[in-house]
Chain A
Amino acid sequence: MNDRKIDQKLVELAQYGDKKAFDLLVIKYRGRLIRVLSRFIRDSTEVEDVAQETFIKAYLALSSFRGESAFYTWLYRVGVNTAKNFLTIRGREVIDRNITYDISDSEGLETNNLFQDWKTPERELINKQLAQTIKRALENLPKELYTTITLREIEGLSYEEIANVMSCPIGTVRSRIFRARDLILSELGPILADK
C-alpha cells in the first residue's frame, strides 16, 4: 500500500471517529506543514499557532475530504489559507489572539498537546540537542545504512528505487532503513526520556 493510500486509510478511520488515527497524520505532517508555513510567517511561535489551527480546521472539515487529492495536498491548501487569513488579520492590525473555532467536535484530539510544548526555551534547547544527536548518530552509521537512509529520507526514493541504485533486494533496503532508524532512535533515547 503506497503512502497516499495509507493516508487515505487513516483519514477514513478518522472520519469514522478514530481521533488517534488523525493524530498519526498530525505527527506525520506537522514538520512539513511548519516548513511550508514558515515561508509565510517568520515568527516561529506564530507558525506553530497557525499549524495548530490548520490541523484543527482540517479535522473539523475532514468529512468534506473525498480523497480526490492526496491528503497532504488538501492539508497544504488548508494551511496556506489559514496562514493568509492570519496575515490579513495582522495586516489590518486586528491582532486578535482570541480567534476561536468551535473545537468542541475535536475534544479528545491530542493536537493541542502535540504543539503546546514547542514554544518554550527548554523545548528549543531539546530540539537543538536532538538535531546534534541525530547528526552524530547519522555520521556513526555503517556506510550502507547511511546511504540507504539518506536516499530514503532526503532524496525521497522508494524502496524499489533504492534497491536498484544499491543493487540489493527490496527486503534488504527495508531492513537497512529500519536498522538505521532504530540506531538513531537509540541515540535519542536519553534526550527523549528527559522530555
Chain B
Amino acid sequence: MKDRISALMDGELDDEDVVKTISEINEDHALREEWATYHLIGDILRQSATVSNNVTSNANERLALESNVTALHSSFKRRDNMPIFSIAASMLVGIVIGWVSQPTGLLDTTPADQIALQASVESTPAVTGIPVSARISDYMTVHQGFLSKEAVSKSIKPRTPRVTDLQKNFQ
C-alpha cells in the first residue's frame, strides 16, 4: 500500500489503482500521515535545492553583467583586462562558495550545481599573493570609465607599474 502512495504522489500510478488508493488514504489516518510525510520529505529536499539554485543563478547573472562591463572596455584595447576580470570573478566565486558552504540548507548543492560550480572554479585563474587593496584598486581602474575622475582619483591608489602599463596601452 505504501508503495502505491509513493507512486501516486509522483503521478506514476496505474489508472485503475488511483481511485482505490485515494479512497484508502482517505479512510486510514495512518496512510494520510504517510502521504503527508512523503510530501514533507520532498518539500524539504526541493527547498534546499532552491536555495542553492538561487545562489548559482544570481552569481551567473552578476558574472554576465561583469562580462558586459568588461567587454565595453575592450574597445580601448586594454590587454590586461582579462586578468583583472578574472580577479573580480574569482572574488565572486569565492563568495558564492562561501555562501553555498553555509549550513543553511539540507542539500547545499545539487549534483548539477556541483558540476557547474567546479567548472567555474577551474576556469577561473587562482588569485594569490595579491593584497586585497591592490585587487580593489585594479577593479576600480578597469571600471573608471563609469566613475567621475574625482571619484577615481580618490579611490585608486596609484601603483606605478600598473599606471605605466595603462598609459602604454592607451597610447
Contacts and interface: CB of A to CB of B under 8 A. Distances in A.
A77 interface: no
A100 to B, nearest CB: 28
B110 interface: yes
Interface string A13-25: 1000010110110
Interface residues on A, range: 35 or more
B46 A10 contact: no
B65 interface: no
Interface stretch (B30-38, B84-92, B130-138): B30-38
Interface string A132-149: 001100100000000001
Nearest to B45: A153
B47 interface: yes
A2 interface: yes
A130 interface: yes
A109 interface: no
Given A159-B10, A178-B3, A134 B106 contact: yes
Contact of B45 (A5, A21, A154, A174): A154
Interface of A: 1-6, 9-10, 13, 18, 20-21, 23-24, 27-28, 31-32, 35, 130-131, 134-135, 138, 149-150, 152-155, 158-159, 174-175, 177-178, 181-182, 184-185, 188, 192
Interface of B: 2-3, 6-15, 18-19, 22, 25-26, 32-50, 106-107, 110-112
